[in-house]
Structure 1
Amino acid sequence: MTKNERTFITKADFMLHGGDYNPDQWLDRPDILADDIQFMQLAHTNTFSVGIFAWSALEPEEGIYKFEWLDKIFDDIYSIGGRVILATPSGARPAWMSQKYSEVLRVNAARVKQLHGGRHNHCFTSPVYREKTQQMNRLLAERYGQHPALLMWHISNEYGGDCHCNLCQNAFREWLKEKYNHNLKAVNDAWWGPFWSHTYSDWSQIESPSPNGERMVHGLKLDWRRFVTDQTIDFFKNEIVPLREVTPNVPVTTNFMADTFDLIPFQGLDYSKFAKHLDVVCWDAYPAWHNDWESTADLAMKVGFINDLYRSLKQQPFLTMEMTPSLVNWHKVNKAKRPGMHLLSSMQMVAHGSDSILYFQWRKSRGSSEKFHGAVVDHDNSPNNRVFQEVAKVGKTLEKLAEVVGTNRPSDVAILYDWDSNWAINDAQGFGSDTKRYPQTLQQHYRTFWEKDIPVDVITKEQDFSKYKLLIVPMLYLMSEQTISRLKSYVSGGGRLVMTYISGLVNEHDLTYLGGWHQDLQEMFGMKPVETDTYYPNDRNAVRFRDKSYELKDYATVIEVNGAEVEGIYQDDFYADTPAITSHQYGEGKTYYIGGRLEYRFQSVFYQEIIKELALEPTSDITHGKGVSVQVRRAPEKDYIFIINFTEQSQSVTLGSTVKDVITGEELTGHLTLDKYEVRIAEKQK
């Protein structure tokens, strides 16, 4: 995707607005269903995800199908100009299936079969479940594949979890045989089998990690997580076989997630692998706005990081498949969005590359676990309450942004995120059990660029490095020789590479490199880390950098310099006055090594120097104070500029040139005042 190209990922040239619609819960209330169609128009919505948990309504008994209600929903939505994202219902199977085919039920890590209930309580390996999902999906594709309302396929829902049944144990062993070329010795070598006498003499002895002693064999745990990702993807691929056959031109997606409390990428599956099999990446965004442990701006920075990761997976716009217009029901505290926050949070998603704002849910359920989860239509069944009106305001705004759809966010800066490395470092019985915080560390390096309005791609180790002027690789604990080679080529070709403490310590099998740090890394950086010191929570040190002192906590690396320039030194402890930060010319490029976890004030100064050297520019000429974010999406003929105030106070921004307000049409120049949570969207001709 080039800087000026538009890619219509859903074949729609408008912003999608709507969300999860569950008419199957209201089939005995035609008056409610009629209200829905009226309210959809009042809310300025146009797209609805249907059928996600509707298996029991579609097939109430085995082989007995009821599609008439869904026929009417398709027709009714299309009658108002709407579109349908049709879901396959595999995320929650009907009770008759659990009763008749017990193999579809998951077995937990303690080898106990789970009872029917909840959702995603199914075995991905089960031949019966795979057969049943394909049967259902083929019927859906044949019935609705040519319906003009069908926009895309929503495959299952929020894939996650694992199963430890005998079927999955056998599948794991077959996966290992393929990975290790049927060589059991290779498995023992990769997993360091002699440790605690964990050498296997027969494939049948290998089992998935159990709750007892599961930390013993790190290679086993790492490969199990890889297998779970691959098996989940294989289940997904099985689901879409009939969809690709019957509707080859209808795009497919499934909704990715984030871990909500810290707002970091979902850890259960390697999305870098999964994304390759999707036409469109989407995710379900549920930040805990207005929490009491961080500022709104700090939380917004984390949202921006995940947006940029999921956008970068396919280097194209993404979809916001779920967000709440008000509150959720599963945080520790379920606080409502304050007035203005819904528009602000929606426009942040669009500013970072989303071509949709879709909600969970359209209408609140009357019962069960999600009856108090936020929705567009509340239990009052009224379009006149605050939340509904704020949704309508978002809809009106999105209608003004059709030219934004499909546009790109080019970047000269990339941060490398790796699921494998995060799994491995979390298993590592070393360092600090509570202070590893790999994703959070990446977000802190991202923060400087987000605050300075410099776009960032959050990429994975298989993606192209060469197009970036700056590549930042914090805490990449697991680093294969292939990755090291690619980094070496990047730097020698002229790239700037920043690396930190606890990087490059183990290979892809979580085995340490003998002889210390890998020789190629030593050459690239002109130094080697010889010792990693881990601090207690109250321990502190300091690093002197550019004649100023910066606080250090958690980790410090003792460094031996072999040609690198010393940029900063430790001030305390037994390594006082020794190198803490280094730089090194290598080939046509340059490397930097940051030996300790330093306060954000250091990162801001450190990266500002590199920003200046590389002439990395913000994407607009707007200046502002802390807590305001300016993000740009570039259409072929104009830039769309999103100016967002993430603070609790009014903020003044200065426009470097005249722009036009997209919503009001007025010309804007000079100074502009943003109220609390206010968003202004401007366009600027190129």
Structure 2
Amino acid sequence: RYSFCINQPAYREKVLALAAELAGHYAGKDFILGWHLDNEYGDEPDCHCPVCRDRFQSWLRARYGSIERLNHAWGNVFWSLEYSHFGQVPTPRASKTSHSPAHLMNWRRFRSDCNVEMIALHAGMLRKRGAMEPITTNFQTWNHRTDYYEAAKALDVCGTNYYAPYGKAWPLEYALANVRSYKKKNFAVYELRNGPHAIPGAAGNTPAPGEVMRLTMHAVGHGADGIYYFRWRACPFGCEQSHGAITDYDGRPKRIYAEVSETGKRLKRIWPLLKETRVESRIATLFDIPTAWVEETGWSFHGPAALYMEHYAKVRRAIRKRHFNCDAVGRNGDFNAYKVLVVSQLSPVDDELVGRLVRFVSDGGTLVWHPASGIKNMETAIYADRLHPALRDMFGIDVREFATSDAREPVSFVFRGETYCGGLFYDLPALQGADALGQYVGAWFERTPAITSRKHGKGRAVYVATFAEEKFYCALIEGLCAESGVKPILDAPENEAVEIVERSAEDGRRFIFLLSYSDKEEFVDLPSPMEDIWNAESIKGRCRIKPHGVRVLSSAVK
């Protein structure tokens, strides 16, 4: 497994020949529902073979035109890394020290482009040979080797694997939001966990009664129109012999089988109601794969490799705990589809991207910004004033100074009378037209603005100058959404034990999913009588949710 090179001519020739033969034989048959390209496209480790080296050098030649331009763009004067010709540029294998950030960034772009190209060629061959059915594949939304926003353009339906933990842990819903947002369409989960993995010491691993059903409906609630469990029967041998399954090694139906079966029966009953519904969001986080490429190199000067995803997930948890649907728009997406856009981190930017962000605010949007965002160009070089000039003007601040701390010694700040913890990095902005909404306390830079806001055009630009704790984002997002006219799905108190998500139809029908992550009963107060189509009950007033239970409430009110 993963012993191939995606750039090898022989590999590409045989993959496309196989696709051509299959499509030529099966396309248009009544029993063909769709075409799944491959398992986990783009998951293979980086290849440094001669073919990849030569293609990388050709890719660089096409991008820069001359070696002088490459040297200048990458800043190769540092450490005397100037090349004389493209044939000298290596693939970034492991070495005594780190490679140039620009070198690593362009390697990641190249590897992603190779995967995107192969997916497009594969799907294109199926269509060329007459395939009219939907074409799909399963991504791994936590895997940043490939820019899935680009790869999704060749697909009709996006898919993913999803192995969220069981137990009380807040689910990894950002993975589902990502795959939903690649094409802004409903999607499929091609590997959904079910039975426990036989791994001693594994946490969040064994489902209590009801948790497989709840995980399934969690995925459906976030936009899944297809659910495929992995595995059907546990395999007694091989690298995944401990992998959970619907049936055990003996193949006999047991507890997990019964729960999956009941879930399927209920889904079949309610699907005519859910079929034409989707997740509608007026708030989005910006998920940026190039930023992950910058931050996850492992090079100490970039800080903790996990910072980008940990902070991104934290911001999303806060939004979801306040009961808002939330998309995950990419850097090339339509920002104007939203009223509030939260940028947890956006390291490399260019004039075009910054221009669209500024227009989003000018047109009436609310933009939330963070440290280490907008400070680098697309070759990872830092701007002279540490922030793109157009962003500096829009936010009305100058951020030439900063401070850092480790996770054990956070610096606090005050916001709307409450004290919150910052974390790791602290921009020290000087106001140049912005208003201070919060200030640092208890440090040498006490009373320096920690949160700023500035009206720009019809909208608002908010600068959060540190990586703050989760409860701060709950308060911030709730206030900004109220100002922007974005209403929560339900006006209910925050409850970590209950997830609330909504699918809606164009005719105004709403379906609100209440999902319990508690081993005791939970309650949610409803504003009006509703029908629970999942449990076939009418509910008025206080809605009781059994341990690990599911309710799908139907309302015609929009």
Shared fold per TM-score greater than 0.5: yes
Matches within 5 A, 1:628-647: 628-637=498-507, 638-647=509-518
Aligned equivalent of 2:181: 312
SS at match of 2:120: helix
C-alpha distance 575-428 of structure 1, shift in aligned 2 (>3 A): farther
Structure 2 counterpart of 1:531, from 401, 404, 413: 401
Structure 2 counterpart of 1:358, from 224, 228, 242: 228
Aligned equivalent of 2:259: 390
Aligned equivalent of 2:344: 474
In structure 2, C-alpha distance between the alignment counterparts of 1:525 and 1:621, rounded to whole Å: 31
Letter in 2 for 1:169: R
Q: Is the 8 A contact 2:534 2:550 kept in 1?
A: no
Q: Is residue 2:41 matched to residue 1:171?
A: no
In structure 2, C-alpha distance between the alignment counterparts of 1:506 and 1:437, rounded to whole Å: 17
Q: Deviations over 1:506-531 (max 9, x none)?
A: 01110111243222111100102112
State the Cα RMSD in Å: 2.0
Structure 1 counterpart of 2:524, from 649, 653, 656: 653
Matches within 5 A, 1:518-667: 518-620=388-490, 625-637=495-507, 638-667=509-538
Query: What is the number of residues matched between the two proteins?
Result: 552
Q: Is the 8 A contact 2:23 2:131 kept in 1?
A: no
Q: Is the 8 A contact 1:421 1:479 kept in 2?
A: no
Aligned equivalent of 2:362: 492
Aligned equivalent of 1:76: none
SS at match of 2:519: coil
Q: Using the aligned pairs only, state the percent identity.
A: 28
Letter in 2 for 1:120: Y
Letter in 2 for 1:396: K
In structure 2, C-alpha distance between the alignment counterparts of 1:328 and 1:619, rounded to whole Å: 35
Q: Is the 8 A contact 2:366 2:484 kept in 1?
A: no
Aligned equivalent of 2:90: 207
Structure 2 counterpart of 1:131, from 13, 32, 35: 13
Structure 2 counterpart of 1:272, from 149, 153, 159: 149
- TM-score for the superposition, normalised by structure 1: 0.77
Aligned equivalent of 1:417: 287
Q: Is residue 2:96 matched to residue 1:225?
A: no
Runs of 5+ unmatched residues, structure 1: 1-118, 259-264
SS at match of 1:210: coil
Q: Is the 8 A contact 1:329 1:370 kept in 2?
A: no
In structure 2, C-alpha distance between the alignment counterparts of 1:462 and 1:199, rounded to whole Å: 32
Letter in 2 for 1:353: G
Q: Deviations over 1:332-359 (max 9, x none)?
A: 7273222111000000000010001101
Letter in 1 for 2:54: N
In structure 2, C-alpha distance between the alignment counterparts of 1:590 and 1:486, rounded to whole Å: 14
In structure 2, C-alpha distance between the alignment counterparts of 1:570 and 1:373, rounded to whole Å: 48
Aligned equivalent of 1:510: 380
In structure 2, C-alpha distance between the alignment counterparts of 1:530 and 1:631, rounded to whole Å: 41
Q: Is the 8 A contact 2:321 2:495 kept in 1?
A: no
Q: Is the 8 A contact 1:414 1:470 kept in 2?
A: yes
Moved more, 404-413 or 673-682: 404-413
In structure 2, C-alpha distance between the alignment counterparts of 1:428 and 1:324, rounded to whole Å: 30
In structure 2, C-alpha distance between the alignment counterparts of 1:595 and 1:440, rounded to whole Å: 17
In structure 1, C-alpha distance between the alignment counterparts of 2:503 and 2:109, rounded to whole Å: 35
In structure 1, C-alpha distance between the alignment counterparts of 2:534 and 2:475, rounded to whole Å: 37
Q: Is the 8 A contact 1:327 1:337 kept in 2?
A: yes
TM-fit CA distance, 1:622: 5.9
Q: Deviations over 1:186-210 (max 9, x none)?
A: 2111211111111111111011101
SS at match of 2:399: strand
Matches within 5 A, 1:294-373: 295-296=168-169, 298=170, 300=171, 303-328=172-197, 333=202, 335-373=205-243
Matches within 5 A, 1:16-27: none
C-alpha distance 547-518 of structure 1, shift in aligned 2 (>3 A): same
Q: Is the 8 A contact 1:317 1:406 kept in 2?
A: no
C-alpha distance 684-136 of structure 1, shift in aligned 2 (>3 A): same
SS at match of 2:71: helix
In structure 2, C-alpha distance between the alignment counterparts of 1:332 and 1:355, rounded to whole Å: 33
In structure 2, C-alpha distance between the alignment counterparts of 1:449 and 1:601, rounded to whole Å: 10
- TM-score for the superposition, normalised by structure 2: 0.94
Q: Deviations over 1:298-323 (max 9, x none)?
A: 2x1xx222211210111110111111
Q: Is the 8 A contact 2:363 2:459 kept in 1?
A: yes
Letter in 2 for 1:208: T
TM-fit CA distance, 1:141: 1.7
Structure 1 counterpart of 2:317, from 420, 430, 447: 447
TM-fit CA distance, 1:585: 1.2
Q: Deviations over 1:455-502 (max 9, x none)?
A: 111101101111211111122122222211111111112111110111
In structure 2, C-alpha distance between the alignment counterparts of 1:146 and 1:612, rounded to whole Å: 50
Q: Is the 8 A contact 1:413 1:469 kept in 2?
A: yes
In structure 2, C-alpha distance between the alignment counterparts of 1:429 and 1:325, rounded to whole Å: 37
Aligned equivalent of 1:434: 304
Letter in 2 for 1:129: Y
SS at match of 2:430: strand
In structure 1, C-alpha distance between the alignment counterparts of 2:15 and 2:553, rounded to whole Å: 46
TM-fit CA distance, 1:623: 6.0
Q: Deviations over 1:283-303 (max 9, x none)?
A: 00012323xxxx42x2x1xx2
SS at match of 1:400: helix
Q: Is the 8 A contact 2:296 2:305 kept in 1?
A: no
Q: Deviations over 1:251-304 (max 9, x none)?
A: 11111114xxxxxx22222212111121111100012323xxxx42x2x1xx22
Q: Is the 8 A contact 2:439 2:450 kept in 1?
A: yes
Moved more, 644-653 or 519-528: 644-653
Structure 1 counterpart of 2:22, from 131, 140, 145: 140
Structure 1 counterpart of 2:132, from 241, 249, 258: 249
Letter in 1 for 2:355: S
TM-fit CA distance, 1:127: 1.0
Q: Deviations over 1:61-101 (max 9, x none)?
A: xxxxxxxxxxxxxxxxxxxxxxxxxxxxxxxxxxxxxxxxx
In structure 1, C-alpha distance between the alignment counterparts of 2:374 and 2:200, rounded to whole Å: 36
TM-fit CA distance, 1:246: 2.1
In structure 2, C-alpha distance between the alignment counterparts of 1:380 and 1:190, rounded to whole Å: 60
Letter in 2 for 1:678: G
SS at match of 1:154: strand
Larger Rg: 1
